[in-house]
Structure 1
Amino acid sequence: MTVTGPLADLRRVAADAGGPEDVVADAEGRVLTGLADGRIVRLTLSREGGLDRYEVVARTGGRPLGLEPTADGALLVCDARRGLLRVDPDDGSVEVLADSVDGVPLRFCSNVTAASDGTVYFTVSSRLYALEDWAGDIMERSATGQLLRLRPGGEPEVLLDGLHFANGVALSADESFVAFAETGAYRVGRYWLTGPAAGRRDTLVDELPGFPDNMSRGPGGLFWIAVAGPREACIDLLHRATSPAFRRAAWNAVKRFPPQPRRTTGAVAVTAEGWIVHDLRRRRSPYRMITSVCERDQHLIMGSLVERGVAVCRLPGRLAGQDHSRSTEVS
């Protein structure tokens, strides 16, 4: 069913904020995001989704990507150049928690989540490509992404290796598993932390309509997953029919003029059992490449690696209990 509305009232706020790749809400409902110039900013939004206050709370000295507020008021930050950081929004201090694993520098730290006991789970998108060449990793499908764990007082350890551009990460409401996006494989996996499957991985949702990026857990335990762009037939063919060497050569041939983000973008909401309960898409979107989404006060707050400003739109109604196959699309 095609319905006008879910993203039609999209509003751009904090328009001078360049490249707000991940957006998260703190305990007071304020939105935090990291920008291309290394700043972490905090946005206070009205209940209608307008901007009431804009604050710079820290500068990482790198390129902040995934964020996670902690119970003590701090902010965990995955910085693509500096590794896993802890930021204090009150005084702007920045502490490096991890910049290497097993002696290997963290080249492309991507997204992070924290358990109630202080254990941190985070992803490395690629050990071959840096952030500036993320499209090269998607084209080559290097399968060098990782899911890592950092226990309080410990050293980072690799839980999963060989992931296809590991990206967003979020814990289930009961912390029985951690979900992680594999952007290059159009899927979200689960790594079980408790129960009979502890230490194993399986698939939460597969064959997504596009490239999954950052994710967050909303009210009712739903996982909100940003879909940065639609599936690309040429990329699928490249993966199926060619060798890694050919794919690497193809990237080298186009890297000076990489493909631009599509204007089809959106988000999906998935239950802890893997049911897609909402699929929101927009063609010809004025806000390209949605790389993050979080739910706040009946609104969706969205960020983008390439856009300026944060996008806000009203939710199309309560999502829990809806038919998992329902799709809402705006053209």
Structure 2
Amino acid sequence: MRISGKFATGAAGVGLAGLVAYLCFWPVPAEPRSWSAPTPPGYTGAHAPNAGLAGLRDIAIGNEFGPEHIAIGPDGKLYTAMTSGGLLRMDADGGNQEVFASTGGRVLGFAFDAQGRMIAADAMKGLLVIDADRRVGVLANRVSAGDPIRYANSVVVAPDGTIYFTDASTRFAPAEWGGTYEASVLDILEQSASGRVLAFDPAAASTRVVAHGLSFANGIALSSDGRTLFVAETGRYRIWKIDTAARAVDVHGGSPQARVLLDNLPGYPDNLMRGREGRIWVGLFRPRNPAADGLAERPFLRKILLRLPRSLLPLGKPYGHVFAIDEEGRVVADLQDPSGAYPETTGATETADRLYIHSLHARTIGWAPR
């Protein structure tokens, strides 16, 4: 019995040593960097707790899920992008549903140009165009020969035809790292701030860098005068104002062409959508977690986290939250659902009589009457 006990103790010691070695030394693709996270503000002031988003009504979408982006097309139809790569088209009440097109990738954002064509940011494929005949074409999948677009995320079309879109990460491409969620986890935990804003000129068929240095560049919207871009920086809880005329501006360089509009948000900002009466709707994917902020200046511990199952990451509890701002950053509406019944609220699309809620993983389209 003593021999067996010693053997068991030795085996446990070897197992523990193996676990410690794995957690400390197993290779991971990210190299976390230290950064200074602001103290979480919690739900106060303009974001005081409420239940304005609770009890959403649903539009069934069959076997599809993940209506990450929702927009009204020039034909008055409702369009939404699904995890499958499919783009659904339907009436405003969800009737007459059909697959408008399928890209074979994952569209995270789209808009319509003056010709009525859908311009789509596909995280796997790049910047795409889908015409009235539902033919899918590639507008841009690289900035230059040695500079690929790895993570096209959100897009807006300016009145002059210029297409502005975000490349969330130049480090982690969803096509190479198991999908959009896994790639986003790697990028945000690393904090190398490799995200950027790009501009595509349809006439010249060329792409330029507008701004770079963003920690997971996400949602994008255009100002009413067409001179300013609003850009969500998911990894650092803020929204920027960036001049459309900017060229390769480092947002951390102190340029007047890139200014923080909203900082220290209570959650991870995702899509930005123009609404009615000058509103810009913001979706917060999840609330912040103090444990995650506490690791901001501890890159070694964040590297250990990358070796753990993703279910153990400090991502914050489910919590439904969308809010609207004006172009000066003032919060003019705030809707929350503390129960998180409608998962991962990534944005909101406003019409005269409805507010549709975007979601990364929901199996229905949530909406509320206005």
Above 0.5 in TM-score?
yes
In the TM superposition, what is the alpha-carbon distance from 1:43 to its structure 2 partner? Answer: 2.0
In the TM superposition, what is the alpha-carbon distance from 1:246 to its structure 2 partner? Answer: 4.1
Q: Secondary structure at the match of 1:51?
A: coil
Q: In the TM superposition, what are the counterparts of 1:68-217 in structure 2 within 5 Å?
A: 68-88=111-131, 90-102=132-144, 103-129=146-172, 130=174, 131-133=180-182, 134-152=184-202, 153-193=204-244, 200-217=257-274
Amino acid at match of 1:24: A
| Aligned counterpart, 1:32 | 79
C-alpha distance in 2 between matches for 1:255 and 1:303: 23
| Aligned counterpart, 2:362 | 307
TM-score (norm 1): 0.86
- Contact kept, 8 Å, 2:289 with 2:314, in 1: the verdict is no
Amino acid at match of 1:144: S
Amino acid at match of 2:298: T
C-alpha distance in 2 between matches for 1:205 and 1:31: 30
- Contact kept, 8 Å, 1:13 with 1:311, in 2: the verdict is yes
| Aligned counterpart, 1:322 | none
- Contact kept, 8 Å, 1:123 with 1:166, in 2: the verdict is yes
Q: Secondary structure at the match of 2:95?
A: strand
In the TM superposition, what is the alpha-carbon distance from 1:167 to its structure 2 partner? Answer: 0.2
In the TM superposition, what is the alpha-carbon distance from 1:255 to its structure 2 partner? Answer: 3.9
- Contact kept, 8 Å, 2:110 with 2:155, in 1: the verdict is yes
C-alpha distance in 1 between matches for 2:136 and 2:256: 32
Kindly provide the CA deviation profile for residues 253-289 of structure 1, in whole angstroms up to 9, marking residues without a partner as x: 3347656773202111010011111121111122110
TM-score (norm 2): 0.77
Q: Give the 3 Å change call, closer, same or farther, for CA 199–83 of structure 1 in structure 2.
A: farther
Equivalenced residues, count:
306
Relative to its length, the structure with more helix (as a share) is: 2
Q: Give the 3 Å change call, closer, same or farther, for CA 29–232 of structure 1 in structure 2.
A: farther
C-alpha distance in 1 between matches for 2:155 and 2:87: 15
In the TM superposition, what is the alpha-carbon distance from 1:76 to its structure 2 partner? Answer: 0.7
In the TM superposition, what is the alpha-carbon distance from 1:33 to its structure 2 partner? Answer: 1.2
C-alpha distance in 2 between matches for 1:261 and 1:55: 35
Structure number with larger C-alpha Rg: 2
| Aligned counterpart, 1:7 | 53
Counterpart of 2:279 (choices 205, 215, 222) is 222
Structure 1 position 59 matched with structure 2 position 106:
no
- Contact kept, 8 Å, 2:286 with 2:315, in 1: the verdict is no
Q: Secondary structure at the match of 1:221?
A: coil
| Aligned counterpart, 2:25 | none
In the TM superposition, what is the alpha-carbon distance from 1:291 to its structure 2 partner? Answer: 1.3
Amino acid at match of 1:307: A
C-alpha distance in 1 between matches for 2:209 and 2:123: 18
In the TM superposition, what is the alpha-carbon distance from 1:220 to its structure 2 partner? Answer: 1.6
State the percentage of identical aligned residues.
34
Q: Secondary structure at the match of 2:277?
A: helix
Q: Which runs of 5+ in 2 are unaligned?
A: 1-47, 175-179, 247-253
